[in-house]
Structure 1
Amino acid sequence: MSLFTTTRNIVSILQCLLILLPGSAVAQKGQDKRPNIVYIMSDDHAYQAISAYGSRLNKTPNIDRLAEEGLLFTRASVTNALCAPSRAVLLTGKHSFVNGKIDNEAKFDWSQDNFAKILQKHGYQTALIGKIHMDGIPTGFDHSAVLIDQGEYYNPNFIINGHKQQVEGYVSDLTTDMVLQWIAQRDPSKPFCVLYHQKAPHREWLPALRHIVDYTAMKFPEPETLFDDFRGRGTAAKTAEMNILKHMNWAGDNKVPPTLMDELGLKEYMSWDKAAFNNNLGRMTTEERAVWDSVYLPIMENFRLAYPHMSEADLMRWRYQRYMQDYLGTVAAVDDGVGKLLDFLKQNGLDENTIVIYTSDQGFYLGEHGWFDKRFMYEESLRTPLLIRYPKEIPAGTRSDALVQNLDFAPTLLDYAGIEAPKDMQGESFRKLAGGTQKNWRDAVYYTYYEYPGIHAVKRHYGIRTDRYKLIHFYYDIDEWELYDLEEDPQELHNVYDNPAYAEVRKKMTEKLAAVRASYNDSADNDRKFLPKTPVE
Structure 2
Amino acid sequence: MKTPMLNFLVVTVAFLSLSSCGVDKSEVKERQKPNIIFIMADDHTSQAIGAYGSRLAKLNPTPTIDRLAKEGILFENAFCTNAICTPSRASIITGQYSQANGVLDLDGNLPADRQYLPIEMNKLGYQTAVMGKWHLKDAPEAFGYYKVFYNQGEYFNPVMREKGALDSVSNYKLYKKTGTFPGKRYEGHSSDVVTDASLNWLKNIRDKSKPFMLLHHFKAPHDMFEFAPRYKDYLEDVTIPEPASLWDNQNNGSIATKGINGSLMDTIGSSVGKRNVIRNMGQHMEIDPNLSDDEYKRQAYQEYLKRYLRCVKGVDDNVKRLFDYLEKEGLMDNTIIMYTGDQGFMLGEHDYIDKRWMYEEAMRMPFLVRYPKMIKAGTRTDAIVNNTDYAPTIIELAGGKTPSYMQGNSFSELLETGKEPESWQQSTYYRYWMHMAHKHNNPAHFGIRTKKYKLIFFYGEPYRDDLVHWKGKKKRPLFAMNTPAAWEFYDLEKDPKEMDNKYNDPAYAEIIQQLKKDLKEKRKSLNEEDAKYPNIQKVIEDNWDK
Q: TM-score, normalised by structure 1?
A: 0.81
SS of 1:225 mapped into structure 2: helix
Match of 1:228 in 2: 248
- Distance in 2 of aligned mates of 1:184 and 1:386: 27
Secondary structure of the residue that 1:242 maps to in structure 2? coil
Is residue 346 from structure 1 mapped to residue 327 from structure 2 by the alignment? Answer: yes
2:239 to 219, 240, 243: 219
Is the Cα contact below 8 Å between 2:131 and 2:215 reproduced in 1?
Answer: yes
User: Is 1:237 aligned to 2:257, yes or no?
Assistant: yes
Question: Which has the larger displacement, 72-81 or 28-37?
Answer: 28-37
What are the ranges of 5 or more consecutive residues in structure 2 without an aligned counterpart? 1-22, 166-181, 259-263, 462-481, 538-546
8 Å contact kept, 2:272–2:282: no
Distance 1:35 1:102 in 2: 33
Q: 2:441 aligns with which of 428, 444, 457?
A: 457
Deviation of 1:31 (Å): 4.8
What code does the residue aligned with 1:443 have? Q
3-state SS, counterpart of residue 273 of structure 2 = helix
- Aligned partner of 2:185 in structure 1 is 166
Structure 1 contact 81–363 (Cα < 8 Å) conserved: yes
Task: Name the CA distance, whole Å, in 2 between partners of 1:165 and 1:73.
Answer: 38
Residues 420-451 of structure 1 deviation map (CA, whole Å, 9 limit, x = unaligned): 12101000000001111653221100111100
SS in structure 2 at match of 1:334: helix
Please state whether the residue corresponding to 1:64 is helix, strand or coil: helix
Hey, what's the Cα distance between the residues in 2 that align with 1:460 and 1:152? 29
Structure whose residues are more often strand by fraction: 2
Q: How far apart in 2 are the matches of 1:108 and 1:158?
A: 18
Out of 457, 472, 480, the position equivalent to 1:473 is 457
Cα distance in 2 for partners of 1:335, 1:420 equals 33
> Helix, strand or coil for the counterpart of 1:244?
coil
| Greater relative contact order structure (CA < 8 Å, 6+ sep) | 1
Q: Which residue of 1 aligns with 2:501?
A: 495
Give the 3 Å change call, closer, same or farther, for CA 527–470 of structure 1 in structure 2.
farther
Deviation at 1:413, TM superposition (A): 0.4
Cα deviation for residue 215 of structure 1 reads: 2.8
Question: Which of residues 353, 364, 378 in structure 1 aligns to 2:345?
Answer: 364
Q: Is the contact between residue 31 and residue 210 of structure 2 (CA under 8 Å) also seen in structure 1?
A: yes
Higher helix proportion (structure 1 or 2): 1
Residues 327 and 195 of structure 1: CA distance in aligned 2, closer, same or farther (over 3 Å): same
Provide the rounded CA distance (Å) in 1 between the counterparts of 2:42 and 2:269.
20
Q: Residue type matched to 2:97 in 1?
A: H
SS at structure 2 position matched to 1:400: strand
The one of 411, 414, 417 aligned to 1:430: 411
**CA positional deviation for 1:190:** 0.9
Percent identical among aligned pairs is 43
Distance 1:509 1:340 in 2: 45
Gap runs ≥5 in structure 1 = 1-26, 267-307, 532-537
Paired letter, 1:245:
G
CA shift, 1:173, in A, is 1.0
User: Do the aligned partners of 2:81 and 2:429 also contact (CA within 8 Å) in 1?
Assistant: yes
Quote the residue 1:153 is aligned against.
155
In the alignment, structure 1 residue 63 sits paired with structure 2 residue 65: yes
Q: Work out the CA distance in 2 between the residues paired with 1:49 and 1:232.
A: 22
Kept in 2, the 8 Å contact 1:215–1:326? The answer is no
1:227-275 superposed Cα distances (whole Å, 9 cap, x missing partner): 2356452133324231012323556x31x3xxxx8xx6x5xxxxxxxxx
Aligned equivalent of 2:92: 90
Q: Tell me if structure 2 keeps the 8 A contact 1:63–1:338.
A: yes
Could you tell me which residue of structure 2 aligns to residue 207 of structure 1? 227
Matched, 1:178 2:184: no
CA gap of 1:56–1:498, structure 2 versus 1, over 3 A, is closer
Give 2:46's aligned amino acid.
Y
**Equivalent residue of 2:245, what SS?**
coil
Aligned residue in 2 for 1:442: 425
For 2:370 and 2:252, how far apart are their aligned partners in 1?
41
Asked whether the 8 Å contact 2:63–2:316 carries over to 1, the reply is: yes
Equivalence map 1:369-448=2 (5 Å): 369-436=350-417, 438-440=420-422, 441-448=424-431
Check conservation: 2:428, 2:450, Cα contact below 8 A. Answer: yes
Equivalent residue of 1:183, what SS?
Answer: helix
Whether 2:113 is the aligned partner of 1:111: answer yes
SS in 2 for 1:518: helix
Quick one: distance in 1 between partners of 2:371 and 2:345? 27
Q: Tell me how far apart the structure 2 counterparts of residues 31 and 463 of structure 1 sit (CA, whole Å).
A: 43
- Report the residue type matching 1:422 in the other structure: P
Specify the alignment match of 1:248 in structure 2: 280
CA displacement 1:15-66 (0-9 Å, x = unmatched): xxxxxxxxxxxx9966521111100000001100011011332311000010
> How far has the Cα of 1:107 moved from its partner?
3.3
Are 1:141 and 2:124 counterparts? no
Give the Cα–Cα distance (whole angstroms) in 1 for the partners of residues 342 and 428 of structure 2: 16
Q: For the Cα contact (< 8 Å) 2:108–2:137, is it kept in 1?
A: no
- 8 Å CA contact 2:383, 2:420 repeated in 1: no
Do the aligned residues in 1 keep the contact of 2:256 with 2:485 (CA within 8 Å)? Answer: no
1:100–1:109 contact (8 Å) kept in structure 2: no
Asked if 1:524 is matched to 2:524, the reply is no
Structure 2 letter corresponding to 1:439: P
Q: 1:406 to 1:232 in 2, by over 3 A?
A: closer
The answer as to whether partners of 1:88 and 1:101 remain within 8 angstroms in 2 is yes
Partner of 1:322: 303
Q: Does the aligned pair in 1 maintain the 2:455–2:490 contact within 8 Å?
A: yes
Structure 1 residue 96: deviation in Å? 0.6
Quick check: 2:132–2:148 contact (8 Å CA) kept in 1?
Answer: yes
The aligned amino acid for 1:382 is M
Provide the TM-score with structure 2 as the length reference. 0.80
**Aligned-partner SS, 2:490:** strand
Instruction: Tell me the number of residue pairs that the alignment of Structure 1 and Structure 2 aligns.
Output: 454
Alignment of 1:2-41 (within 5 A): 31-41=30-40
Change over 3 Å in CA distance of 1:233–1:156 after alignment to 2: same
1:232/1:353 Cα in 2 relative to 1: closer, same or farther (>3 Å)? closer
Shift of 1:383: 0.4
